[in-house]
Every structure is written in structure tokens, then in C-alpha cells.
Structure 1
Amino acid sequence: MAVESKQISNTELERLIIESGLSNAALARHINLTGRSTYGLELRYDSSSVNRWLRGAVPAPPIPEIIAGVLTTRLHRQVPAGSLFADGDFLTVPSSPSQTVETATALWRRTVQRRDFLAYSFSTAASAQAGWWWVFSPPGTITGGARRSRIGQADLERLAADRETFAELDRRFGGGHARSWLADYLDQQVAPMLHGRYDDATGRALFAAAADLTHILGYMVFDSADHGLGQRYTIQALGLAHHAGNLALGAYIMSNLANQHVYLGDGATAAQLARAGATAAHGRAPAALIAQLHTTEARGHALAREPHACRAALHMAERALERARPEVNPAWLGAASPAHRHGAIMHSLHDLGDHTAANSYAEQALDLPADSSRARALHLILHARVLLGLGRVEESCATATRAHGMSAQLRSRRLGERFTEYTKALTPYAKVAAVIDWLALIRPTRTPLSRSPG
């Protein structure tokens, strides 16, 4: 499996283990013994567990404290628990559900404790590896934790209701508005539930809910242009969805991982990830999701300057849109409206330089749900770029001004960057009156649009 071949990333833990003279298996035995004698825990770690930690997985408390205690005794000096997993990178998906829980909850906890919103780099290789793992690895068997709290249907219903709240906040106000709230919610509310007691069916539903919420947070962080952290949330969400056995949700998360590569200009990887998601989910996912995967693939091909592949993917997307039935879509796919897909088609055609064809999708792309404020602003500024490509400068500036009028309530760096790109594209028309007016409008508000939340 791909996760087994990942090179060591936690070099600090590796250094301390070597210095202690313990083998990985011996360290695991000491951890199990200390867990039983000091904490009353029946632990079953082995050398493979230590290998996963060395490759970036982070165990849940109190395991870091136990490891630190073992190493402190062995080395005859204090080893702080907080230093052991400082360079775990959260870019791998552990093969078992329990390790996936440990790694995902550790990422939530670290985000809350350190507010590391800008601390991570983006890795193309990690996305490809996570996608390969999702397609080819079998889901694990979910078992509840040892805590007393019993998780039931009422808990799942509460998660579903809270999920709708966070998703709506993201759509209406941008990713920067509620990302800190959702990070706190995952750490304080969802993590204890994952460590609670539940049967297999409840566990799979709980894993799916946790995957969905983690994915929403990843999208919020992506919208805030913190791409490395957003990638890590998305990869951990993929692991949770995989072990939940929810293939369609995993494909949806894959589409948005691909979308992040689109935004960063890596069209080839984006197309591969989206195609993998569509292939795996074919016949087992709603048509609206298949359309999303194909439009994302098309955008990747357009960026990679592969017009034939792009148009083939667009054709498959439009066929899927014809079959789409919104009433059968799961809640997590609610925002994937036909207008969102038509916006992606318009963007693909714009990237190909076919502005006439792109413009023909503008009306459909703007037929968005009422609460999709960010998407509406993004589609408007895209349409402004399309109109500029057609030489309709005054109309383009008027359309961009409409988008700008919606930006006051949005905290979206992505939107701010789109305004910047549009403004640069206006350079050849600097003496046109409408352009002069636009520059006067945008200049005082550029900073608020681009700010990152504290």
C-alpha cells in the first residue's frame, strides 16, 4: 500500500528512538505496559504503529505523554510530549480506522492550540498518493473507543444540523468567516464522539459526518488561500470517508482536492484526481456528483492545454447534468447545483480561450441558490473576464462592479485574488473611462478582501 512506502517525516521522534537504543517493537511494548500500569488502558501498539508515527501519524492523548515518559526514563532527561510530533505533517492516511481517528483529531487539536493557519506547505505528491490510496485500499473495520459516552442517533442528527449551519456560513460569508469556529467544534465536539462507544453502523455514519465537517473546514481554509493546511484537512477527510465506506462522499472530497490543484495551476494532477474519482464512483454516485468530477477534470485539462481531453470531459459532464436529480442528492452535495457546474464549464472554456462559448453559459452559471453569495461573486468576476476576452470592456467592468458590490460581506482570499487577476487583465485598457472607475473602486478595498482571519 502507498502509505507503507512513505518516507520518515517525524525526524525528531526517529532521533530520540535511535538515541534510546530501543527498537520500534520494544518501544511499543513499553508504551503498552505504561498505558496499562499508569492509565489503566489496554493498548495494542506494535512496531507498525511506531512506523506510522514516524511517517506523520499523530496518536491521540495520552499516548504522546506515555511515549515521552518512556523516552524520559530511557534517556535520563526530560523529553517534552509536545516536541515529539512537531513535524508530523498529516499528509498520509493511516490504513486503519483507529489510526485515522488519531491523526485527524490530532490535526484538529493542533490547529486549535497553535492556530497554525499558515505553517504548512502544499505537496502535489501527497495528493496523488492519497488519491491512489483511496482508490485501491480496502476500508477498515470500525470499532468504538473505550470512553463511557455512547454515541447514538441523536448525536448523528445534531452533527447533521450543525453541518448545515457551517456549510451555509461558508457559502454566504466565505471561508474566513467561520473556520475558527468549525476548528473548535471539531476539536471539542466531534473528537470526543469518535473516541466514544458505538456499533459498526453508527461508527460508519459518525466517520462520514466527521469526514464531511473536516472537508468543509478544508474548503474554508482553501478559500482563505492557506493551501497547505487545506490540503491536510482534505486528505484526512478522505481517510475518514473511506473508512466510513462512503464511496460517493470520498469521490466528492476527491473532486475538491482536485479543485485545489486547479486553483494552484496544476492542471495535470487535477485532471488525474478528478478522473480517478469519477471512475471509482461510476454507477455508485449521484449524477450531480459525476458532473462535478467531470467539470473539475475538464478544468484540469484546460489548464494543461489539452483541449480535446477538456471538451471530452465537458461532454461527459453535460450528459451527467441531464441525468441529475437534485431530490436524490445527499445533504453534503446540496451546494453542487447545476449553476455551479455551468460555472466550471464557463471557466474551462475561458481557459481554452473560447470566450464566445464561455459566454453562452453565463446565464446558467448565475442561476445559483439564494445563499451562494461567494459562488455568485466568483461567477460574476469570471464572466467579467469572459466579456473582456470578447472586447466588451465597459460591460465587463459593470459586471465586475456587481461582483465587487457583493464582496463587503465575504471573507474570501480566493475572491480577492480573482479581483487582482481581473485588474491586471485590464492593463491594456487603462485609459478607458470604465476601467479608471473600476480602479478607483477597487483600490481602497483590496486589503479587506485579502485578509486572513486571526
Structure 2
Amino acid sequence: MSSERHGRTPNHDLERTLTASGASRKSLAKRINELAKASETPTHYTHTSVGNWLAGMTPTWPTPRLIATVLGERLGQRVTLADIGMAHTEPIKPDNMGLEFPRDLPDAITVATGFWSSMKRRKLPAVMFTTMAMATPMSRWLIQPADPSVANTGGRRVGKNDIAQLRQAAEDAQRYDVKFGGGSSGASLASVVLRDTAAPLLSGTYSDEIGRELFAACAELSRVAGFAAADMHQHGLAQRYYVQALRMARAAGDPALGGYILVTMAIQALTRDEPSAAIDMAQAATERAKHVATPRTLAFYAAIEARAHARDGDRRAAEHALATAETLLSRARPGQDPPWIRYNEFGRLAGDATEAYCDLRMPDKVQQWGTHAALPAGLHVRANGMLLTILARGRLQAGELDEALALTRQAVEILAHVTSERARAHIRAFLSHLTPWQNESKVQATIRYAAAHGVR
């Protein structure tokens, strides 16, 4: 018999499904033993074993799959691991873990909750980022951005208060991330809430209306968790959080949120220096959400597309996208936007334009836009520190070495208090451009200053 792990609470999902099937504990155990024997992995479960499972003990794999199979036979329908409260038990497959984008919602819930729960069960194995893995999620979201119905009858009833708590957790984690970096303890809140709170709620009871809100909250939490991982250059992990966020947005029936997630993925592609992929993602988001997203949201899509074109060396396309973003942002009105995009003010757009023109090596434009690009200093610590490194690169392009070095020292001082590999990469990118002046004492002093603050 397989060994078992203890759970903390009774398994009400298993109890409910077992009762609905009409199977007795004894008959369930007997049929599981038959299936296990047929697969040459014999077990010797009894009605006592089933009682232990109902009390909260979890059998090791593949017994949970056999339980679902037996109950499915009795009910005449597919029973998922989530239906029996064991979504977390399926073994992790590092190569495709979290990258699946199932068409059917029950399967999507199983994949998402299984991935989120894996963050607790064991140390996450190294996972690779792969651009090709985005083909299926993008195409399926573009073809059908909303599931037809998401109402569910399961565990305890989910209410507005549950959703409010999830949304607040996402906002709190985001606030920690932008101030202290993706590696801060506060930024990890999103992954913890997904694992411990959101995952069980998805197996609860909710109407279609409440369900849509629940999936939207889960989508934003998964996006925030992905952004924090990407900020630490854990790109394979971030990609998986993003894919599940996009699937949750589809269940929410919210194309604007789905587009926002896709554009966040475009930012990751830019971090990885894959501008072509970023362009595709930003344009796909705009095409799908252009009739439903607010002007402020569409302006963000366009700004990130502009940065991608600039990184790709296409000045004309970049400036067209920037002009579009500026026009859209001028149409934004207070009170019409979802909470996750309200931060997108002109200062944010100016920051995107500054980085775009830096990639295009147009230092005058970098200086022009940079004067408008500061965000609230007490909150957006990382963004303001990274902006200083971009301005420093612009000054270096203009031949103003002293000013560039001064800006970099300011950036290092600010970012020393932020746990962010992405921010450190910005400093390193600037330092890499100092090679022609590497023998000058002031350049060497700046390099030593950065190293003393953890940037080498």
C-alpha cells in the first residue's frame, strides 16, 4: 500500500463527490484495488483507508487518479482531481508544468491550482523559458477570450468578501514589488495567496457572476506573482504564472485584463531582448481588446508596443505607437478604469518614451521625455531608479560622461534598497557602455561604487 500524507482538514470535496456517486467506502476501496492490480501497482485499501482520506489524509500518487476514475465511473461523467480535493497531488512535470492552457474550464482549474499548489509541496525545479510555449495560449485566447459559463457547485459558497480579499492581496503584493522589488518578502504574497486561499475557492460554489469576479482576481494575483518572478530573472517561473493568469482572464470573460496580462508578458520579452515577440503580444492584446478596454488601458498596450519597436530599431513604428498612446491617454477619465491600470498616468508614458528613445539612440529625445518621467518617489522606487540608468545612457550617447556617471551613482544608491535583478541589469547595461573610458579614474570609481552596492 502506498504511504500517505496527513492533511489539516477533512476533505469535504471527496465526501461530497463520494456521496453523489452512491458508492460505499468498501466498494470504492475494492474498485481502486482492482484498477491498481490491472496496472501492475497493487494496493490493499479498505473502507478504513477511505475513511482516512475523508478525514484529511492524502494517498500518494497514482491513487488520487484512481479515486477520480472510480467515482467518474459511478457518476457517468469525468471527475477531476479538484473534484475530490486532490488537485495538488499530481506529480510535477518541470518541462510543461504551468504552461498548459486547457480549453475546458475544469481542466484549466486543475492545471492552475496544481501549479500554484506546487509552490508549497516541494522546492520548485529549474524551469526554462520558451517563446514557443506561448503559441497555444495566445491563439486560444484570441479565438475565444471568454468561457461560456463558469458557475460551479462544489465546496463552500464564495462571496464578495472573498473576492475583495484576493484583490486587496494583489494590490498589496504589487505595492511591495514596485517599492522593494520582486525578491522582497511582500512581493511573494501573491504566490502565497494563490496557493493557500485562491486555489481552494476555485473548487467552491459560486454563480456565474461571482465566478467571473473570482477568476479575474485570480488572474491579477497570478500576473503579479509572474511579474515578481520576472523581476528576479526567474523567467521560466514567471512565464508559467503569466500563462495561468491569461487562462484565468479568459474564464473571467475579461478581454481587457487578458490583454493587460499579454502586454505584461511583452515586457518580459523585452527584458529578455526578444522585441519581435513583444510586438506580437502587444498587437494581439490591442486587436482583441480594442472595443472593450478603456483608453488608459489601450494607451498602456500602445506604449509597450512602442518600446518593442524601438528595441527592434524601427523608429517610425515606435513613434507612431507612442503618438497613439499619448492620444489615448488624453481621453482617459477618472473613475472609468479597473484598479490594475489606474497608475498609468503621463509620467509612466513618459518613462516608456524615454526608454524607447534611448534604444533608438536619440539622446535629445531621451532628455526631453525624461524631464516628465518621474513617478511618485515614495512608491515607485524601482522604476525611478531604473529611469536614472536610462537617462544616464542618454547622457552618455550625447557625450556627457560626467553627468552620466552622476546619474548612475544616484541610481545605484536608490536601487541598493531594492531586491531586483532587473534593476541591477539596468545598471550593468550602463556600465558595459563605459569600456571606451575604462582607464579614467572617475569611471573606475563609479564601477567600484556600484560593486560596493552589490552590482558587479
Tell me the TM-score normalised to structure 2 length.
0.80
Give 1:432 shift: 3.7
State whether residues 32 and 43 of structure 1, in contact with CA within 8 Å, keep that contact through their aligned partners in structure 2.
no
Report the RMSD for the aligned CA atoms in angstroms.
Answer: 2.8
2:409 matched to 1:401?
yes
- Name the structure 1 match of 2:329: 321
Corresponding residue of 2:176: 169
Q: CA deviation at 1:204?
A: 0.3
1:388 to 2:396 alignment: yes
Relative distance call for 1:426 and 1:125 in structure 2 (3 A) is same
Task: State whether residues 127 and 257 of structure 1, in contact with CA within 8 Å, keep that contact through their aligned partners in structure 2.
Answer: no
Note if 1:444 corresponds to 2:439: no
Matching residue of 1:45: 78
Matched, 1:201 2:209: yes
Aligned with 2:135 (options 123, 128, 135): 128
**One-letter amino acid matched to 2:194:** L
Cα distance in 1 between the residues matched to 2:172 and 2:382:
16
Instruction: Write the mapping of 1:289-304 to structure 2, written as runs, cut at 5 A.
Output: 289-304=297-312
Q: Tell me the CA shift for residue 291 of structure 1.
A: 1.4
Q: Distance in 1 between matches of 2:68 and 2:189?
A: 35
Q: Structure 2: how far apart are the matches of 1:124 and 1:115? A: 24
Question: What number of residue pairs does the alignment pair up?
Answer: 397
Partner of 1:103: 111
Residue 152 of structure 1 is matched in structure 2 by 159
Structure 1 pair 283/139, CA: closer, same or farther in 2 (3 Å)?
Answer: closer
Instruction: Please tell me the residue identity of whatever aligns with 1:167.
Output: Q
Amino acid at match of 2:341: L
Asked if structure 2 preserves the Cα contact closer than 8 Å seen for 1:112 and 1:183, the reply is no
1:361 paired to 2:369: yes
Q: For residue 97 of structure 1, what is the amino acid of its counterpart?
A: L
Of residues 70, 87, 93, the one that matches 1:34 is 70
Shift of 1:386: 1.0
In the alignment, which residue of structure 2 is the partner of 1:11?
none
**2:47 corresponds to which residue?**
none
Q: Counterparts in 2 of 1:14-413, with a 5 A limit? A: 20=39, 32-35=68-71, 44-45=77-78, 62=85, 83=91, 85=93, 87-116=95-124, 119-140=126-147, 141-147=149-155, 149-177=156-184, 178-368=186-376, 370-413=378-421
Contact 2:146 2:254 in 1 (8 A): no
- C-alpha separation in 1, matches of 2:231 and 2:83: 28
Q: Runs of 5+ in structure 1 lacking a partner? A: 1-16, 22-26, 50-57, 66-80
Q: Which amino acid aligns with 2:157?
A: R
Aligned amino acid, residue 162 of structure 1: A
Q: Which amino acid aligns with 1:425?
A: H
3-state SS, counterpart of residue 446 of structure 1: coil
Report the 3-state secondary structure (helix = DSSP H, G, I; strand = E; otherwise coil) of the residue aligned with 1:328: coil
Cα deviation, residue 433, structure 1: 4.3
Partners of 2:437 and 2:443 within 8 A in 1? yes
The CA distance in 2 between the partners of 1:414 and 1:203, in whole Å, is 35
Q: CA deviation at 1:397?
A: 1.2
Between the aligned partners of 1:167 and 1:204, the Cα distance in structure 2 is: 22
Q: Using the TM superposition, give the Cα deviation of residue 179 of structure 1 relative to its aligned residue in structure 2, in angstroms.
A: 4.2
Q: Which amino acid aligns with 2:71?
A: G
Larger radius of gyration: 2
Q: What SS does the aligned partner of 2:183 have?
A: helix
Query: What secondary structure does 1:360 align onto?
Result: helix
Does the CA contact (< 8 Å) of 2:276 and 2:308 recur in 1?
A: yes
CA separation of 1:60 and 1:232: change in aligned 2, threshold 3 A: farther
Task: Please state if 1:423 is matched with 2:439.
Answer: no
Q: 1:354 to 1:203 in 2, by over 3 A?
A: same
Match of 1:69 in 2: none
SS of 2:78 mapped into structure 1: coil
Change (3 A) 1:43 1:408: farther
Residue type at the aligned position of 1:35:
L
State which drifts further: 400-409 or 249-258: 400-409
Cα shift at 1:62: 4.8
Task: Provide the rounded CA distance (Å) in 1 between the counterparts of 2:75 and 2:386.
Answer: 52
For 1:6, the equivalent position in structure 2 comes to none
How does the TM-score come out when normalised to structure 1?
0.80
Cα deviations across residues 205-225 of structure 1 (Å, max 9, x unaligned)?
Answer: 000001001100000000010
Residue by residue over 1:177-200, the C-alpha shift from the partner in whole angstroms, topping out at 9 and shown as x without a partner, is: 134433222111111111111111
